[in-house]
Amino acid sequence: MKINRYNQALSAFDSCICDAVQLASNEYKNLGIINWWWTSEDEAQLENLKKFVESQDICFFISEEIFDRHRSTDINKVFELLNSYNVYYILFSRDLTLKIQPNPSKTFCNPWFFKSPIYVPSNFTPDLDYIEKAYAFNLMLGSTKSYRTLSYKVLKDNNNIYVKYLGHPNFKNDNVPNLDNDDVYNDLISQDVAQHKLNTMNFVERESGTYPISHVVPGTIYANTHFDIVTETFVKQQNMFITEKTAKPLATGRFFCWFNSNNVINYLSQFGFDFTHYEAEYDKTYNDVDRLNAMLEVVEEISNNPLYIKNIYEKSKNARIHNMDVFKKQTEQFHKRTHEWVTANLNT
């Protein structure tokens, strides 16, 4: 079999698929790989996609990020085209607002963070039961976004919440003590965010290798705060793109509140996660502004009530332990499951 890549860039995940293909026995002579995130505007045009898929016996369409990559191309028409050919989909986001979806019988979809390892310090011990801490929540804000700025303005004067907004030029130097690792903090505070967005993908050394800053569990911050507030990267309604921001509290058994697309609970529950007693009625709210305000109200209520904090520890304990176990199992077995899915479809 010859593997034909539509894009010149080869991501780490592409390599995983290529490895699976090489191990599979099958009747196909030509296999095409289209990594949507790395396609150029020219490659994203329907006539060029059509020409490529018609030249292959079978194709794998990989979307490592969100679908909304090329504004000059209607993604509904892309899926309408590809669904008419022998194309399989490996996706790390879902956009439920699309009129035409990838063929569900040929789709392998997972949360984005399954393929992106999180660094948890070897000496980290999850706080499954209540212990006294300085802050109720932490809110660590990266690149400037309107909903993050609103969250910052609402919560920054709450003494029970540890808030830093290193990605905003007007707020990055606000007088808040630093609880993060020095190498992480020095990298982020030195960046010129007036000209560029905050880059949290710079690598830092840890005992088991190098990791992007965004993927390192902030051990000292966690030691001083009970819970997390997560403001995700993309919050378009019904667009499920779940990053390391959500993965870190799941991996470490922490209760958290979040602003993301609506109905995140339904999406993540499909992969085994349990959000019983996560106080997340706001997750059902369709309107973005209403959902954000409802989440912030929950945060304010919890942060000002020590008895509420203790109650959350007790009630959510089983779900938090369960989520740690699910996270470990899903991430450790992710590449194995991907290989199995690819192989099964090549041999169909």
Of 70-74, 114-118, 245-249, 270-274, the range with the lowest mean pLDDT is 70-74
Burial environment of residue 67 by CB neighbours within 10 A (0 to 12, 13 to 18, 19 or more) = buried
Q: Where are the alpha helices (DSSP H) in 162-305?
A: 182-189, 219-224, 244-251, 264-269, 288-303
What is the predicted pLDDT for the residue at 61? 95
The band of 10, judged by pLDDT with boundaries at 50, 70 and 90, is: low
What is the predicted pLDDT for the residue at 7? 80
What is the predicted pLDDT for the residue at 9? 64
For the cut 80, the answer to whether the pLDDT of residue 183 exceeds it is yes
- As a whole number of angstroms, the distance between CA 142 and CA 167 comes to 5
More confident residue, 20 or 150: 150
CB 179 within 8 A of CB 221: yes
Domains of the chain: 2-109 (no CATH), 135-332 (3.40.50)
Of 2-6, 67-71, 222-226, 267-271, the range with the lowest mean pLDDT is 67-71
Kindly give, in sequence order, each residue whose CB lies less than 8 Å from that of residue 248, ignoring residues fewer than 6 positions away: 118, 217, 228, 254
For the cut 90, the answer to whether the pLDDT of residue 27 exceeds it is no
> Would you say the C-alpha torsion 121, 123, 124, 126 has a positive or negative sign?
positive
The band of 218, judged by pLDDT with boundaries at 50, 70 and 90, is: very high
The band of 29, judged by pLDDT with boundaries at 50, 70 and 90, is: confident
Taking the chain, what is the end-to-end CA distance rounded to the nearest angstrom? Answer: 16
Of 59-68, 124-133, 312-321, the range with the lowest mean pLDDT is 59-68
**CA quadruple 158, 161, 166, 171: dihedral, nearest 10:** 10
Dig out the tokens for 302 from the structure: 């919890």
CA gyration radius, the chain: 21
Report the 10 Å Cβ neighbour count for 256: 20
pLDDT in tens, 83-114: 999 999 999 999 888 999 999 999 999 999 99
Q: Is the entire prediction scored with pTM above 0.85?
A: yes
What is the predicted pLDDT for the residue at 234? 87
Mean of per-residue pLDDT scores for the chain: 93
What is the predicted pLDDT for the residue at 66? 84
Amino acid identity of residue 214, one-letter, is S
Report the 10 Å Cβ neighbour count for 188: 21
The arithmetic mean of pLDDT across residues 273-278, rounded, is: 98
Dig out the tokens for 94 from the structure: 């879902």
The band of 67, judged by pLDDT with boundaries at 50, 70 and 90, is: confident
pLDDT in tens, 289-332: 999 999 999 999 999 999 999 999 999 999 999 999 999 999 99
What is the predicted pLDDT for the residue at 37? 86
The arithmetic mean of pLDDT across residues 136-150, rounded, is: 97
What is the DSSP track for 244-256?
Answer: HHHHHHHHTT--E
For the cut 80, the answer to whether the pLDDT of residue 68 exceeds it is no
What is the predicted pLDDT for the residue at 25? 62
